[in-house]
């Protein structure tokens, strides 16, 4: 019985895209006034910051975990915790509940078992 061929991803291109998102996010943190990005696209939403954070974390976590879906869940976790922090609701209970919900979603989508890689 032959092994199925495993598709090899283009890790260098993904690494370059990841570094690009992190450089954009770092440049925004260093050189852009927070009041400028606070009201785009909605007042008080910090939409651009969280968009770049989401993309940077998603690509990085996808590379580290070798799984795009898990990278997406990690990125969603970071963005939601960031918004909870802005609203003053970030605490260990909310972090635990959010973590549990995302782990349950991963188990549900993964067919009931946590699989590696």
Looking at the domain assignment, is residue 4 inside a domain?
no
Do 16 and 24 contact (CB within 8 A), yes or no? Answer: no
Does residue 5 form part of some domain? Answer: no
The total domain count for the chain is: 1
Give the mean model confidence (pLDDT) for residues 35-61. 92
The pLDDT score that the predictor gives to residue 40 is 84
- Residue 105 belongs to a domain: yes
Each residue's pLDDT tens digit, 55-95: 999 999 999 998 899 999 999 999 999 999 999 999 999 99
- Find, among 94, 50, 97, the residue nearest to 75 by Cα: 50
- pLDDT of 45 > 70? The answer is yes
Residue 36 falls inside a structural domain? yes
Residue 6 lies in a domain: no
> Which residue segment(s) compose the domain that 36 sits in?
11-109
Residue 62 domain-assigned (yes or no):
yes
pTM of the predicted structure, to 2 decimals? 0.83
pLDDT band of residue 10 (cuts 50, 70, 90) is confident
Write down the H helix ranges in the chain: 11-31, 34-38, 47-65, 68-86, 92-109
Closest CA to 86 of 52, 29, 24, 43: 43
44 domain residue, yes or no: yes
**Is 11 strand, coil or helix?**
helix
Residue 35 domain flag = yes
Could you give the CA distance from residue 5 to residue 8 in angstroms, rounded to a whole number? Answer: 9
């Amino acid at each position: 019985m032959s092994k199925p061929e495993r598709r090899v991803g283009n890790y260098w291109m993904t690494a370059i895209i990841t570094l690009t998102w992190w450089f954009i996010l770092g440049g925004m943190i260093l050189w852009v006034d927070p009041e400028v990005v606070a009201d785009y696209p909605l007042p008080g939403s910090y939409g651009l910051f969280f968009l770049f954070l989401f993309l940077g974390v998603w690509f990085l976590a996808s590379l580290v975990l070798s799984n795009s879906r898990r990278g997406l869940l990690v990125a969603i976790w970071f963005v939601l915790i960031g918004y909870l922090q802005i609203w003053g609701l970030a605490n260990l209970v909310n972090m635990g509940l959010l973590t549990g919900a995302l782990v349950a979603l991963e188990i549900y989508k993964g067919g009931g078992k946590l699989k590696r890689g």
